Amino acid sequence: MSTAELQRRPVRSDRRRLTSASRVVMLASVYAFLYIPIIILIVFSFNNSRLNATWMGFTTSWYGTLPDHPSMLNAAEISIAVTLGQTVISTVLGTMGGIALHRYKFPGKRVFVYFLYIPIVIPEVVLAVALLLFFNQVSFPLGVVAMMVGHTTFTIPFVVLVVRAAMSGFDNSLEEAARDLGATEWQTLWKVTIPIILPGIIVGALLSFSQSFDDFTTSFFVDGMGNDPLPVYIYGLMRHGVSPVVNALAAIILAVTLAFALLGERMQRVGKLTRR
């Protein structure tokens, strides 16, 4: 016993050796690298100076001046319209697809699943130029609807993925029970299946929302003239030099996307807990 313990000790001390100062420094510096730029961006959105670099005191006035820029309001409206529209479409279609893929077997299912997931893995710029080409060839006008279509196309696979995952613990006998009790297919879907996987559907919707809201690449190609959503609008502003207004806007987008992502994470956990 004692020899075995002796032999094991070196490994334990190896684990402990990294607890030294160098390890703390290393952890701290990588976290600092990851977080400092974001923190500075947010802190300086409250800086009481037009020049961005030195701290002149706390103010919320940059947030207050946001509505004074009509072009910014326009960009915000476009962002919200595109994101809400595409979230509804991608959530509905993705949920239907996710349920169908869980429930049914059909020839070519594997290929179909691969096909659905390809947009997740191929570079977004390639999806974006293909859509630009498509809209151009069918003479579909670029703008809000084109962006909605583009965003929906790359968010649907994520919703399908999340809904399928939510259904993986789904007990098929619940649907059978509903039908034994005389429910139609339609009633089973609405009164049994959907309520049970609702947390998963909401997670999919939140994910879809945050991906669309901060999308740059697809919007950049298919937004057309004068329809810049917030990310593309900020890109334009940044090219003319920085201003605390940009910080304030960026901080808002950051807060929105992060809130939606964290909420989604929370929901996912709740969903897992309630299933047990």
Interactions with other proteins, residue window 98-157 (CB under 8 A): 99-100, 103-106, 112, 115-116, 118-119, 121-134, 137, 149-150, 152-153, 156
Is residue 91 a contact partner of residue 159, using CB atoms and an 8 Å limit?
yes
Residue number with CB closer to other proteins (137 or 274): 137
| Residue 198 engages other proteins in binding (rule: CB under 8 A) | no
Between 217 and 271, whose beta carbon lies closer to other proteins? 217
Query: Does residue 84 belong to the site contacting other proteins (CB under 8 A)?
Result: no
**19 secondary structure, DSSP code:** T
Q: Considering only CA atoms, which of 188, 212, 201 is closest in space to residue 78?
A: 212
Site size with other proteins, rule: CB under 8 A: 97
Q: Is 166 near other proteins (CB under 8 A)? A: no
Does 5 bind other proteins (CB under 8 A)? Our answer is no
Nearest to other proteins of 17, 191 (CB atom): 17
By CB under 8 A, residue 8 contacts other proteins:
yes
The one-character DSSP state at 142 is: P
Name the percent of the chain in helix, strand, coil, to the closest 5. 80, 0, 20
CB distance 174 to 196 below 8 Å: yes
Q: Is 32 in the site for other proteins (CB under 8 A)?
A: no
Identify residues 222-241 at the interface with other proteins (CB under 8 A): 231, 234-235, 238
Burial zone of 213 (CB within 10 Å; 0-12 exposed, 13-18 middle, 19+ buried): buried
